[in-house]
Structure 1
Amino acid sequence: MSVEVDSWKVTLPCTRAEAEAIDAGEFALDAVLMTTEEVEDDVERWRLDAYMEAEPDAAMLDALRALVPSAEGIAPVIEALTTEDWVKMSQEGLEPIREGRFVVHTSAHPVDAPEGGRAFLIDAGRAFGTGHHATTSGCLRMLDAMAALDFAKAIDVGTGTGLLAFAAAHLWPEAKIVATDIDPAAIDVTRVNAADNGIAGLDLIVADGALSDAITAQAPYDLVIANILAGPLVSMAPELAAIADADATIVLAGLLETQRAQVVAAFEACGCALQEVDRRGDWTILRLTAGAVRYVPSTPPDPKGRDGWALDI
């Protein structure tokens, strides 16, 4: 019986410096790039995994090798993945994580909700955001710590699996929650996950950043969450600040500590002020406050270079 190939994975070794450059960069590749530290605190032992729908050709392999010069002479590992392979691979080792009142688990590791808390079932799949990456778990902790605040309208930009939007819906059940992603597949995954977790009333929008009329028509938001990448955070700072209400809370993630100053500067230029930093290894989560007067960009935001901005892993 033939097995239908669902996607492809290419793996190459890399260094930490190369991984940081990949995480910070924007590349015109039809692939999702993921970097992983294989040996803790060893700057030479990192890994690049590239996921793509089509079988990688010579041009794709050459483009991936160019990202990791340290792997010169090493043959890439190329795997054909079925849907079953994808799910099995992504579920392996994903033990439940706990952040404040939240516990996030896969169907392979079911757990009960903590007393007074909330358990979310998020199976790994074609959209990222199981909560196991430091950026997402850090956002969960930051949102949990903000539970005493009052928000009427929140937006999760780059929602991935929907996890952060679900957390916001639990913390502020009376609030209007918008979840948006550039990838239609991510919105489909979020819709399924919302049903599995009994989350109702989310407004799910496929959109490129915050430029969609469906997003701006509902602005301003008093809570803006964006767990994406540093480059897009910098380029999107004016539009994210523009959809935020005066004195709104803005939670940013997906950036390395080495990229913090650049991201903070971009938002400070839009009238925002840094309030809190949560550093988790090489990754950093930021909480900012929008200016006392709602920001209005002097020029229309530039949507150029948005391909591949979603992270939420």
Structure 2
Amino acid sequence: MGPAMSADVGGGPAGSWKVTLPCTRAEAEAIDAGPELPLDPAPTLATSEEVLDDAEAWRLDAYFAQQPSAHAIAAIAALAPSAGAAPLVERLADEDWVTISQAGLAPLHVGRFFVHAGDETPPAGTRALRIAAGRAFGTGHHETTSGCLAMLDALERDGAAFASVVDIGTGTGLLAFAAAYLWPGAAIVATDIDPVAVDVTRENAAANGVEGIALVVADGTLDPAVVGPAPYELVIANILAGPLVSMAPELAAIAAPGATIVLAGLLETQRAAVVAAYQACGCALAEVDRRGDWSVLRLTAGAERFVPSGPFDPKGRDGWALDL
């Protein structure tokens, strides 16, 4: 299993030492957001899945340009308190660890999209999107993101047209970029609770020549810059089941009557709870794309715009961008 993504919180030449320990997906998400480490120079951190789709079976690798001190090892261990064991410290041969850390990110071809992390030549007729593994989730290689890409591509092929789009928990911006390509001229808002992710999206947009997307650091929809342009004809949220359930009234409230809502980041075992939360807000399930243990949902908003009965409950927000 290749690295799902990496967080470059340091720099310098190829590392010659590696500190490894197990972690959970939740810890990996926190690590990949770019933790502040009391180390100078800082190591480069990479997280990866040890067991596909197992939230408890992840790995943290920290690359150092020189032998790490006991203080440095302790700082790395503090990032993964679930490990319950001493980190593995090993001397590496003189290798390009950046190449090693990216090796698992083979180019991904989904519909009309070719997502890659390097200099690969895209197939004819595809829209290439260069999304390197970096400081935010969303390289497209996880079933949730590739499933969303496939669903968006199919929607456009079937004649769907959207003038307004919002991407909640945008991560690297990949799904917002896809929407901009499929529906040029649409007003698109991309949000994330993590300011690092928004910075990454801005960088990726410039690298891919994507213009006109409004980027907002926001907790769900709880920002005037997200609510102001509502209602949206297409709502995308690729996060996690807990936030999806918590945010059901928020997302339904910013959806236009009859809007398309694409939800991902949930396991098949969590589908019923997520669907029930949105049905309670007047939405109807239109399609399920099951990919392994994961499901991508397409729902249709009610014929009348949903009006919440009370203030939004911010509980359940922990754990945002999921795409690997």
- TM-score norm. by structure 1 comes to 0.79
Shift of 1:250: 0.3
Matches within 5 A, 1:138-287: 138-147=147-156, 148-287=159-298
Write the deviation string for residues 44-67 of structure 1: whole angstroms up to 9, x where unpaired: x97223589x96477655x414xx
Residue 166 of structure 1 aligns to a residue in which SS? helix
Partner of 1:6: 10
Output the CA distance in 1 between the equivalents of 2:160 and 2:108.
24
Output the CA distance in 1 between the equivalents of 2:30 and 2:237.
22
CA contact (8 A) 1:205 1:214 kept: yes
Output the CA distance in 1 between the equivalents of 2:264 and 2:89.
30
Counterpart residue type for residue 128 of structure 2: A
CA contact (8 A) 2:289 2:296 kept: yes
Shift of 1:206: 0.7
Partner of 1:64: 82
CA contact (8 A) 2:32 2:136 kept: no
CA pair 271-60 structure 1, distance change in 2 beyond 3 A:
same
CA contact (8 A) 2:257 2:303 kept: yes
CA pair 146-90 structure 1, distance change in 2 beyond 3 A:
farther
Shift of 1:300: 1.0
Structure 2 segments unaligned to the other structure (5+ residues): 1-7, 12-17, 34-46, 63-71
The alignment status of 1:111 with 2:121, answered yes or no, reads yes
Output the CA distance in 1 between the equivalents of 2:213 and 2:304.
28
CA contact (8 A) 1:272 1:291 kept: yes
Structure 1 segments unaligned to the other structure (5+ residues): 14-21, 66-71
Aligned length: 281
Residue 307 of structure 2 aligns to a residue in which SS? coil
Write the deviation string for residues 138-180 of structure 1: whole angstroms up to 9, x where unpaired: 0000000001211010011111110000000000001101111
Output the CA distance in 1 between the equivalents of 2:116 and 2:210.
16
Equivalent residue for 1:48, pick from 28, 49, 58: 58
Shift of 1:75: 3.9
Output the CA distance in 2 between the equivalents of 1:37 and 1:256.
18
Counterpart residue type for residue 182 of structure 2: L
Shift of 1:211: 1.0
Write the deviation string for residues 283-303 of structure 1: whole angstroms up to 9, x where unpaired: 110000011111111011112
RMSD: 3.2
Output the CA distance in 2 between the equivalents of 1:184 and 1:282.
30
CA contact (8 A) 1:275 1:288 kept: yes
CA contact (8 A) 2:77 2:87 kept: no
Counterpart residue type for residue 222 of structure 1: E
CA contact (8 A) 2:242 2:317 kept: no
CA pair 64-272 structure 1, distance change in 2 beyond 3 A:
same
Residue 218 of structure 1 aligns to a residue in which SS? coil
CA contact (8 A) 1:11 1:47 kept: no
CA contact (8 A) 2:240 2:265 kept: yes
Shift of 1:94: 1.1
Shift of 1:210: 1.1
Output the CA distance in 2 between the equivalents of 1:162 and 1:90.
21
Output the CA distance in 2 between the equivalents of 1:121 and 1:263.
31
